[in-house]
């Protein structure tokens, strides 16, 4: 895997700034010892779980993904089993303070069933079913090892008659969990309980894995608030049913699962690529009589990192204000493994780049026919001109076909598939109905320099696409259905002309 030039993972991890247990320190040593090993496709696949880490935020040191798969919450007189996955994700800054996930889903909105519901509270009809959903109510902190996880929570109770604002806890008075892997020291009547932890690494030491059980039975739970259209009545009914407020020593949280961590600089160096964007010259600052630049790169392709952060260029992911493109190609051929074929003399397309890896596009193929030249029949979509096939609205996702090792040149492709459903195009050839479905991976050039256009060259032989899959990901192929479904391949070269200069960045 291609990393920053002059880069080693040992430099990326640097000095850990949080309090670590002995086992975690040993794991960190393993990371340092294995850091120089080349990363592979499996690392990028495993790093996908950190895709919502705010790794571009300069204060973020570590990316974290913590998944709870079992356990229970005991609050007052109610026990809620954790039988669905609960995820905490984001970044960690100094001292383990949690920086929210970039997509806003820092704590998953996992609704857990409350056994027994509101049985015992007088409600008309069958309105007793209740779910409990934990939400963050303040600054969370994740400290590897004995430090555990500090979670200020408010728990939303959902029921048809409780209204949309029924909570146990609030920002001002949260349910404050201090979950640890070791043994608790609660006030009575609770007795100490013990968690567990197994520390390991994977992907050559690039990802730290903490598997075990976090526990806390020393926290208090405040009373309910905001329940029903008559809050005082509803709050009181819920408090009596659940046993709230519940003093410290009467509540328990047990959360079993795994927490994975990766250095934010490693994630930033590996995960985003390939990346469509712009390498822009930065404005210098006057420092005395000297103009000083503060860009991250020294060259106009943003492929040479500035160690001093005084480069003249900076990378801007995604398209700029002029994000549209138009495409054109000469001959296009769709062939099945059973030797059926549709040939078109040309195609045009219109589309727009919607992000660093994504685009949307629609295509029109012209001069389309099926069969040999001496006995061919025209193919056309409904309400289209003779010989004209119109595709559905398509979306494209960009990824590595081959990332490249050492000096090996990387290869990038765009996976084109229907924006909705599974049909790429429908048409008729000589009165016979044909549908094309699935998706197709098309290699794209040029890479790693700003250009006005990209060339997409689809390759196939005997109905088999080349390639059929990205370096990381499932197989994606086209299907051709004319009275029976067959695998199909597409061949043709399309040139997309952009409204602005853009770059597909494949090396960091």
Q: How far is the first Cα of the chain from the last one, in angstroms, to the nearest whole number?
A: 11
Residue 15's pLDDT band, with cuts at 50, 70 and 90, is very low
Question: Do residues 67 and 185 both lie within one domain?
Answer: yes
Question: Do residues 257 and 307 both lie within one domain?
Answer: no
For residue 165, is it within any domain? yes
Number of domains in the chain: 3
Q: pLDDT for 386-439, tens place per residue?
A: 999 999 999 999 999 998 766 789 999 999 999 999 999 999 999 999 999 999
Question: Do residues 377 and 313 both lie within one domain?
Answer: no
User: With 60 as the cut, is the pLDDT of residue 332 above it?
Assistant: yes
Residue 230's pLDDT band, with cuts at 50, 70 and 90, is low
Among candidate residues 285, 348, 288, 274, the one with its CA nearest the CA of residue 318:
274
Question: Do residues 65 and 133 both lie within one domain?
Answer: yes
Question: Do residues 163 and 82 both lie within one domain?
Answer: yes
Question: Do residues 497 and 353 both lie within one domain?
Answer: yes
Rounded mean pLDDT, 353-357: 91
For residue 2, is it within any domain? no
For residue 3, is it within any domain? no
User: With 80 as the cut, is the pLDDT of residue 256 above it?
Assistant: yes
Q: How far is CA 180 from CA 96, 107, 185, 212, 352, in A?
A: 14, 18, 11, 10, 49
For residue 371, is it within any domain? yes
Gap between the Cα atoms of 470 and 461, Å rounded:
18
Range of the domain at 382: 324-505
Question: Do residues 38 and 54 both lie within one domain?
Answer: yes
pLDDT of residue 23: 44
For residue 377, is it within any domain? yes
For every residue of 12-63, DSSP letters joined together read: HH----S---HHHHHHHHHHHHHTTSPP-HHHHHHHGGGTTS-TTSTT--EE
Question: Do residues 414 and 478 both lie within one domain?
Answer: yes
For residue 1, is it within any domain? no
Torsions phi, psi of 62, nearest 5? -135, 145
For residue 4, is it within any domain? no
User: With 50 as the cut, is the pLDDT of residue 80 above it?
Assistant: yes
Question: Do residues 356 and 470 both lie within one domain?
Answer: yes
Q: How far is CA 130 from CA 18, 70, 133, 238, in A?
A: 39, 19, 10, 11
Question: Do residues 373 and 451 both lie within one domain?
Answer: yes
User: With 60 as the cut, is the pLDDT of residue 13 above it?
Assistant: no
Question: Do residues 159 and 189 both lie within one domain?
Answer: yes
Among candidate residues 86, 45, 55, 31, the one with its CA nearest the CA of residue 209:
31
Q: pLDDT for 468-496, tens place per residue?
A: 999 888 899 999 999 999 999 999 999 99
Rounded mean pLDDT, 295-300: 94
Does pTM surpass 0.85?
A: no
Question: Do residues 357 and 487 both lie within one domain?
Answer: yes
For residue 161, is it within any domain? yes
Gap between the Cα atoms of 32 and 14, Å rounded:
9
Across 9-13, 42-46, 263-267, least confident range: 9-13
């Amino acid at each position: 895997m291609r990393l920053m030039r002059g880069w080693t993972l040992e430099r990326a991890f640097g000095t850990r700034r949080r309090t670590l247990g002995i086992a975690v320190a040993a794991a960190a040593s393993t990371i340092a010892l294995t850091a120089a090993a080349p990363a592979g496709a499996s690392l990028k696949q495993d790093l996908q779980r950190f895709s919502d880490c705010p790794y571009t935020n300069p204060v973020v040191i570590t990316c974290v993904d913590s998944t709870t798969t079992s356990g229970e919450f005991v609050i007052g007189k109610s026990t809620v089993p954790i039988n669905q996955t609960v995820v905490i994700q984001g970044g960690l800054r100094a001292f383990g303070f949690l920086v929210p996930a970039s997509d806003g889903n820092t704590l998953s909105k996992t609704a857990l069933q409350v056994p027994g519901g509101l049985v015992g509270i007088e409600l008309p009809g069958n309105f007793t079913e209740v779910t409990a959903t934990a939400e963050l109510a303040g600054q969370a902190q994740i400290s590897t090892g004995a430090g555990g996880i500090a979670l200020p929570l408010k728990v939303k109770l959902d029921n048809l008659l409780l209204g949309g604002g029924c909570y146990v806890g609030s920002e001002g008075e949260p349910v404050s969990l201090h979950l640890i892997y070791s043994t608790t020291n609660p006030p009575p009547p609770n007795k100490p309980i013990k968690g567990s932890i197994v520390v390991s690494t994977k992907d050559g030491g690039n990802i730290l894995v903490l598997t075990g059980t976090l526990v806390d039975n020393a926290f208090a739970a405040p009373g309910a608030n905001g329940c029903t259209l008559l809050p005082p009545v509803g709050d009181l009914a819920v408090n009596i049913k659940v046993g709230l407020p519940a003093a410290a020593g009467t509540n328990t949280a047990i959360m079993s699962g795994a927490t994975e961590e990766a250095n934010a600089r490693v994630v930033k160096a590996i995960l985003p690529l390939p990346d469509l964007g712009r390498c822009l010259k930065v404005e210098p600052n006057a420092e005395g009589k000297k103009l000083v630049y503060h860009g991250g790169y020294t060259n106009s392709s943003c492929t040479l990192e500035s160690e001093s952060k005084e480069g003249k260029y900076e990378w801007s992911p995604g398209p700029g204000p002029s994000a549209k493109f138009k495409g054109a190609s000469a001959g296009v051929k769709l062939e099945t493994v059973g030797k059926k074929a549709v040939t078109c003399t040309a195609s045009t397309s219109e589309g727009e780049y919607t992000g660093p890896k994504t685009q949307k596009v629609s295509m029109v193929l012209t001069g389309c026919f099926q069969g040999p030249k001496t006995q061919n029949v025209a193919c056309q979509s409904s309400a289209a001109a003779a010989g004209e096939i119109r595709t559905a609205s398509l979306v494209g996702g960009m990824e590595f076909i081959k990332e490249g090792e050492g000096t090996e040149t990387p290869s990038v492709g765009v996976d084109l598939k229907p924006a909705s459903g599974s049909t790429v195009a429908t048409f008729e050839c000589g009165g016979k109905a044909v549908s094309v479905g699935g998706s197709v991976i098309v290699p794209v050039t040029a890479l790693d320099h700003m250009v006005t256009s990209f060339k997409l060259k689809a390759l196939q032989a005997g109905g088999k696409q080349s390639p059929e899959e990205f370096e990381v990901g499932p197989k994606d192929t086209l299907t051709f259905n004319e009275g029976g479904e067959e695998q199909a391949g597409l061949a043709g070269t399309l040139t997309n002309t952009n409204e602005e200069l853009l770059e597909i960045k494949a090396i960091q």
